[in-house]
Structure 1
Amino acid sequence: MALLRKSLLEVMTPFVQPKRFRGKINIQRPKPPHFVKSKYLEICKPFYASQKKGKTMTELCGFNMNRKDEVIENPFQRIIANEVLTYFQTSKLVAFYHVNHITGIDQFKAMVMFHKEGMRMKFIGKKTLEMAIKETPYEAVLDFFISRNMIVFSSEPKIKELIKINRKFPQFVLLAGIYENKLLNLDDLVKYSKIPNLETAQSMFVHTLNASANRLHRQLNSRQTSLLALLEDRKKQLDGDN
């Protein structure tokens, strides 16, 4: 009786698993909505005015030549520009290079060699250089700065040492230089490098003066020396006769 009552009063809990009638939803190709719903969706779609409307092809070009961006001056760039101008004004020799591909090790070696000769090797951007030497006597050198360039400042006119270092690093192409406030090309720099320094020129000049003085002294004393030689010979002849 107890078993019968238990089987009649027990509540059975069925196992339910929901399942879509026609498989999975296609996310990439969803089913189009009903015709009425699609009309309402099209009416409720937001409308934005096109920014390209009424513009010419030149204005729609990505690179607009007439576009003027707002120029914001960088204080740090101004400090570097003033420092560069000071280098130009205090250096007796300024050399301009075009830099081809070079490894970092070779570039460091070149910088060390320039430093040993008392020269500064600087990589300066065109905007910074233009800010430094615009409306100055050095403005003509801006034409060199088209691609990657380098400047070497020297407090002494060591053109010979500059050419010597340049031969060891063919990646640095010497374009021109400023010497004695004159812009010189490569041929002029090579010509100046063959001129000896001041001490050597002074010693050569002194040697020339001494040689001229010695030659003049010999020419002035040549007749007296000849006369003394003849008198000595005559004296020996007379002594021999006695």
Structure 2
Amino acid sequence: MASINRGLLQVQTPFLLARRFRGKINIQKPRKPHFERQLLIDFTKPWYVPPKNSMPDIALCDRGEKRRSEEIDNPFERILARECLNWFNTSKMVVFLHKNSIAMEDKMPIFAALKKNDMHLRTYGKKIVSMATNGTRYEAVNHLFTSHQEIIFGQPASVAKMFNIMKKAPQLVIMAGIIQDRLMSKNELVEFSKLPNLDVARSQLCSILQSAGSSLVGQLNQAQQMLVSNLDQHVELQNKSEPPAESKEPIEPKES
């Protein structure tokens, strides 16, 4: 048994032993490598860009022509662009929002509240909006888009309700809007939201028109009324200035 363990655990000595040549390695002045090794070292040497503070201004200018990748025709993008253009054409109120970082848990109640008041919150990217609005009257809104942004579609009567709902989501900032084919800023939208509804505006217009007609009639009758009053005053003054008429009785002849 001992002979078997000795045979299995026997350590074999290697045929080659690595030994240093000439003692220590010269680190300060190493010997030049072989030509092929030096060629490999030079070929694999990393190359770093020089720092920008040492480069001239002409080298820092990056306004040269850039290669553009070929645009791939995506049928789904065309469908989204057609849907976006349909929303623009059928909605008399379009409000553009700037979206900051917001969680879906905070965004969902805003979406539900807008939906309840007949307003629709949609998310479109810059490419989709440009495809939908190029060549149309809404082409000017492309300057408002840099990436994916939120758009509210609805009717002008819901502007005041929209502002009340958007107060609950400060992450969605109102930038501008389109009301009946007119581009408005945020301040103009706020002023528009303070206007009364159509029925009240019509009643106010009717009262203004009625007051204008009544004032015109009064101005036309004013001259006649003044003339009549002046004549009455003139007759009264004449009656006061004349003395009362004395009674004249016939004189009877005296008897002789």
TM-score, L = length of structure 2 = 0.57
SS of the aligned residue for 1:184 comes to: strand
CA–CA distance in structure 2, aligned partners of residues 135 and 215 of structure 1: 51
8 A contact 1:123–1:151 mirrored in 2? yes
CA–CA distance in structure 2, aligned partners of residues 178 and 159 of structure 1: 11
1:202 maps to what in 2? 202
Deviations 1:107-135 (A, max 9, x none): 01110111111111011111111111122
SS of the aligned residue for 1:76 comes to: helix
TM-score, L = length of structure 1 = 0.60
SS of the aligned residue for 1:168 comes to: coil
**How far is the alpha carbon of 1:210 from its aligned partner?**
6.8
8 A contact 1:90–1:155 mirrored in 2? no
**How far is the alpha carbon of 1:103 from its aligned partner?**
2.5
SS of the aligned residue for 2:121 comes to: strand
| TM-align CA RMSD | 3.8
Q: Which is greater in Rg?
A: 2
2:77 maps to what in 1? 77
Unaligned runs of 5+ residues in structure 1 are: 1-11, 27-38, 43-63, 224-242
* 1:154-233 superposed matches below 5 A: 154-206=154-206
Aligned residues: 177
Deviations 1:31-86 (A, max 9, x none): xxxxxxxx9x99xxxxxxxxxxxxxxxxxxxxx96222121111111111100000
Q: Cα distance 1:88–1:20, how it changes in 2: closer, same or farther (>3 A)?
A: farther
What one-letter code is carried by the residue in structure 1 that aligns with 2:177?
G
Q: Cα distance 1:124–1:211, how it changes in 2: closer, same or farther (>3 A)?
A: same
8 A contact 2:126–2:147 mirrored in 1? no
Unaligned runs of 5+ residues in structure 2 are: 19-33, 38-63, 226-256
2:88 maps to 1:88: yes
Q: Cα distance 1:19–1:75, how it changes in 2: closer, same or farther (>3 A)?
A: farther
CA–CA distance in structure 1, aligned partners of residues 125 and 182 of structure 2: 23
8 A contact 1:92–1:157 mirrored in 2? no
**How far is the alpha carbon of 1:164 from its aligned partner?**
2.1
What one-letter code is carried by the residue in structure 2 that aligns with 1:96?
F
CA–CA distance in structure 2, aligned partners of residues 20 and 78 of structure 1: 76
CA–CA distance in structure 2, aligned partners of residues 217 and 66 of structure 1: 75
CA–CA distance in structure 1, aligned partners of residues 65 and 108 of structure 2: 40
Deviations 1:202-239 (A, max 9, x none): 23344556778899999x9xx9xxxxxxxxxxxxxxxx
SS of the aligned residue for 2:109 comes to: helix
1:100 maps to what in 2? 100
SS of the aligned residue for 2:167 comes to: helix
- Identity, % of aligned pairs? 33
* 1:1-242 superposed matches below 5 A: 15-16=7-8, 19-22=11-14, 66-206=66-206
